[in-house]
Structure 1
Amino acid sequence: MPISLDELFERWEAETDPSASTLSSWRGIMRDLKSFVGDKADDITRITAEDIVGWKDKLVKANKAAATISRGYLGCARALLRFAVANKLAASDPSQGIKVARKTKAGKKMLGYSGEEVARLLDLASAAPEPWKKWLPWLAAATGSRIGEVAQLHFSHVFEEDGYHVVKITPAIDAGSIKNAESERTVPIHPALLAAGFLEFVAEKGQGPLFYGRSSGDPKRKHASKGVANRLASWIRANGFSDRRKAPNHALRHWFKTEASRVGISDSVADAIQGHTDSSSSGVYRHIGLALMASALEKIELPPRRGVSLDA
């Protein structure tokens, strides 16, 4: 019996339990693919490689970024069609081997903030009365975290372990999510955050989320912390951080990686702090402890001294 794209998506969703953000974006991608293939959407076995190529070409002509097409549109279709093959719903995956040939043009690569910009942003944050404006830039700069990871922190995620004050980067108890298994980690709190009164803020805030009121608890809906992260990005942009090659929140993560390299922190330790996957064969055997992370973080000066360059 034929299976439609909609039915395939429902089966994939039920089995893989994707995050709310993935569901939201992939539903839109599926609508676009269904519109392109027409009545073939009612029977996935009728979708051909030529259809996928034609869809990809349409996206290229619409000036979608190569990374967006590759990781977003084709990535979604490939995951679903491979799921169909694995579950004997289709004999082959028509998206196999189809790629975007277009290269990223010079002047388009995303960049990190300079030390001057981080210092200015942290000055602005320190003067802000709202907790999410005040602490999220500091947390991102002090841990290199994705802003969504720290935006969903709960009171219970801040504690003491082995003599260190730490934050636990983990899915929020009210259906918040993080990128992948490697993203879950425990990171020492930077001395600058301790000096600025972060622990006192957490104690005063009490039980529950630190930066939002409450979320629905429905894993299929966007988590409330997403709205906080979006508002923070808008606030940063409104305060003069207008370079489109520097994502207002994520440029802090880029800066942390660059600064870690500048002060001599090894890639493996920086990866452990930031929740980056170590893809080397030895990476699965390497476990970075709190003492080593704390020692590394002490080398990251916050706020950065103005005028310090990568070659300093």
Structure 2
Amino acid sequence: MSTIRKRAKPATFQKYLWLRGQIYWFRYGVPKRYQSVETRKIIQVSLKTSDIRHASLLAGKMRADLHAEWEGRLKGNPSAIAYQPDNLELMLAATETAYLRIQPKLEQLVRHKKLDTKVAYDGYLKTLRSSRDHYLRAKASEPLPIWLELADKQIQRRNWKLPKDSESYHSFVGMIAEAAIEVISVELAKREGSLGAEPTSLVVKSGLETKERSAEQGETILELFDRYAAYRLAEGRKREDGVAQDRKVIESFASFVGGKRSVGSITPIDIRNWRDTLAALPPTYRKAKAYEGLSMQDAAAKAKAIGAKSISPVTVNKYLSTVSPFLGWCVTNAYAERNPCDGLFFDVAKGKNPRPPFTAEQLRQIFSSPLFTGFLRNGKEHEPGIQKADDWRYWIPIVCFFTGARIGEIAQLRINDVQFEDGIPFLLIRHDEKTGQCTKSGFSRVVPIHSELQRIGFLSFVERQLKAAKGLRTSQLFPEIEVNERGHIGAKPSRFWRDYLERIGIKAGSDGLGAHSFRHTMADALRTAGYLDDEIEVALGHNQKTVTAGYGKVRQGTVKRINKMLENITTPDFVMNSLD
């Protein structure tokens, strides 16, 4: 019987991992760029571990190593997909082909001829002048065959798309000629007394600088990020969806400073320029047609020209908060000497756009609105009617109101997360990689089900869901909700709730109101009931960062203790009247 191969549960978001029996496998589709140098379409390798964190680490390293290997193959494979090089690549190739190729030959010639007599020395200088003048005449009239030959070899070796009748081809040949003339000119200047002579040609200066800044094989910005991400996943400091979002920022950063650039060559000036370009961009420029196909620099320039609203300094700092830890890791692992982000964050306070709590009047409007009293039809939940919902649309905001839990924490509930202890029903808000459930703190916690929430029929709803799931208690409590492309299960209800608040006239623009406002409302209600913030953080599941919190295995906040806190909250009568 063949072994059944099944993918790791989608909710774990482990993109390259497949579960085969109890062992994780690395499974990766070969990107189009490398299909000409890799016969396999899919790479499948057993990671020989059942530990998902260890598997994540191995998968990250394996992916980085494969990319490094494929890049190496591309350099020597003429059948690889050809591409158009940029100007810096042409200058680098011309410098390597002519300047750096001729330079050691001149040194060898000097050693061979032993220029220890005036006659020999003058003869050498005459040869240099003659060669330089010959090259200058050829450059001004018709290229030398050797330059054309060198250009053709480089184009073939590097797999460039550079037709011989193109302007770029002729420009490349001209760069090779300029680099050849420059190496002779520098050598001649040194022999005539200017011992510190350096190249003045833009081609050679740019080529040498690019070579100095180019990353070693396997150590480009994105390759190092993959290693960094693998370590963070293995350490449990990052989740797969978080890594995916971080990679988008790093890809944008790498595109800005140069994808093949070494991290050690990135300077604070590069970071400042990237930061200031970000600060000039509109919030959603990538989705706007007006900026379609534009680079970051061009999009920023266009936005400035038309006076478009730009992203806030707080948001720019979020981007920097993605790049800085990565570059800090590069310093720790000896890929760079310093973190160029240090000192370049905007000096702005966090939380400039906090999530406000709902006022009493807003709560009155919410719970007397059509979603809770009767709406027209699906898609028109904000318009009055006789239809009522018995699904996530109705129950998630209500549960958020009575528990103060995050919307994603409620959306991810399974039926078996509704439990009892000492006769008190409660929700187990899980953080469990095996089931794909998570909390912001990284710990599971309990949230008692308020007596009023019981009274309006939440437990009966749970029983109905269990019956619909044919008794399978591990089924989702809200099966209509699926994770989005970022792996977030709370995205759909969050978006629905923001839109609903706008349609009933409570939310306006980016005022911060949303499902998270229920959490802030709960915090205020607990303060009003006489509880201190260190007690409230336990009820809300905030991460306790005290020394004592690190002792033992039992988390703070028993079901009985938190239940007492929640029951001491005064629930407005108008809420209960609307939900009766």
**What TM bracket, shorter-length normalisation?**
0.7 to 0.9
Structure-2 separation of matches of 1:224 and 1:148: 6
Q: Which has the larger radius of gyration?
A: 2
Task: Show the 5 A alignment for 1:55-66.
Answer: 55-62=274-281, 63-66=310-313
Partner of 2:517: 251
| Candidates 153, 162, 173, aligned match of 2:422 | 162
Deviates more, 1:141-150 or 1:204-213: 204-213
1:68 maps onto 2:315 in alignment? yes
| Candidates 262, 266, 270, aligned match of 1:43 | 262
Q: Give secondary structure in 1 for the equivalent of 2:258.
A: helix
Structure-2 separation of matches of 1:140 and 1:114: 15
- Deviations, residues 100-128 of structure 1 (Å, cap 9, x unaligned): 1245798x554221122224323445334
Task: Show the 5 A alignment for 1:6-155.
Answer: 6-17=222-233, 18-39=238-259, 42-62=261-281, 63-70=310-317, 72-102=318-348, 109-124=354-369, 125-127=371-373, 128-155=388-415
How far does residue 34 in structure 1 lie from its aligned partner after superposition? 1.8
How far does residue 223 in structure 1 lie from its aligned partner after superposition? 3.7
Residue type at the aligned position of 1:6: L
Alignment check: 8 A CA contact 2:494 2:514 kept: no
> What residue ranges of structure 2 are gaps of 5+ in the alignment?
1-215, 282-309, 374-387, 467-472, 576-580
- Deviations, residues 57-85 of structure 1 (Å, cap 9, x unaligned): 22233332233222x20111122112223
> What residue ranges of structure 1 are gaps of 5+ in the alignment?
307-312
Q: 1:222 to 1:157 in 2, by over 3 A?
A: same
Structure 2 length-normalised TM: 0.47
How far does residue 97 in structure 1 lie from its aligned partner after superposition? 3.1
Deviates more, 1:288-297 or 1:121-130: 121-130
Identity %: 25
Structure-1 separation of matches of 2:242 and 2:478: 22
Structure 1 length-normalised TM: 0.84
How far does residue 280 in structure 1 lie from its aligned partner after superposition? 4.6
How far does residue 226 in structure 1 lie from its aligned partner after superposition? 2.6
Q: 1:212 to 1:87 in 2, by over 3 A?
A: farther
RMSD: 2.8
Alignment check: 8 A CA contact 1:175 1:223 kept: no
How far does residue 281 in structure 1 lie from its aligned partner after superposition? 4.8
Partner of 1:309: none
Of structures 1 and 2, the one with the larger relative CO (CA 8 A, separation 6+) is 1
Partner of 2:442: 181
- Deviations, residues 111-154 of structure 1 (Å, cap 9, x unaligned): 22112222432344533404112111111111211111111111
Structure-1 separation of matches of 2:240 and 2:504: 30
- Deviations, residues 234-275 of structure 1 (Å, cap 9, x unaligned): 233322222332331111112111221122122122111211
Task: Show the 5 A alignment for 1:237-248.
Answer: 237-243=502-508, 244-248=510-514
Alignment check: 8 A CA contact 2:407 2:494 kept: yes
Partner of 2:493: 228
Residue type at the aligned position of 2:543: T
Residue type at the aligned position of 1:233: R
Structure-2 separation of matches of 1:304 and 1:23: 45
Deviates more, 1:80-89 or 1:131-140: 80-89
Partner of 1:295: 564
1:209 maps onto 2:476 in alignment? yes
